[in-house]
Amino acid sequence: KLSYWPKQSQPQVILNYLFLKKALGVFLIFLAVYYLFIQRDNKQIKMNIYLSILCIVISAICDGLFGIGGPLMVLYFMNKTKGQKEYLGCIQLFFLINNVYNTGFRVFKGILTVHQFTFILVGAIGIMIGTIIARKVIDYIDEKNVKKIIYVVIGISGIMNLL
């Protein structure tokens, strides 16, 4: 549903959140299927400056609308980095900066309150445990399989958006 109405003589657009969430889900599933089954390993798309900016802007829009800007940045950093360790360092720093900014912004706007921080702390503990486990197993998984795991997780994220 798309509707317009004047507010202080400026048109505003209201988009149906559920439609956008499902569209994002389909998009993420498409990306996962493409990278898992269609793209050839030796034929990686090189991101020039325009494709890089497009990827970053779409990621920012998805992050603003849904709080899920990570999948496109994962693909961006996978393309721009030269190995697993460099990729992991870049993506972790990106998520740190992004999450600190988004959390601060949401606290400032009153979206996040003290009552929600209990849930956030539980999630943070889960993330720390996952990071510890990942550090222990990453040396035993080759880069090709790490990429496959990443694409599967992107696909699962898409499916979750459809539910």
For residue 100, count CB atoms less than 10 angstroms from its CB and return exposed for 0-12, middle for 13-18, buried for 19 or more.
exposed
Give pLDDT tens digits for 58-113.
888 888 877 788 888 888 898 888 888 898 889 989 988 988 888 888 889 888 88
Q: What is the pLDDT of residue 94?
A: 92
Give pLDDT tens digits for 3-17.
444 455 555 556 677
- Per the DSSP assignment, residues forming a β-bridge with 6 are 11
For residues 42-61, average pLDDT: 82
pLDDT band with cut points at 50, 70 and 90 for residue 40: low
In contact, 13 and 4? CB cutoff 8 Å: yes
DSSP output for 73-118: HHHHHHHH-SSHHHHHHHHHHHHHHHHHHHHHHHHHTTSS-GGGHH
Instruction: Give the mean pLDDT of the chain.
Output: 83
Which two tokens mark 127?
């993330």
What is the residue extent of each domain of the chain?
Answer: 2-162
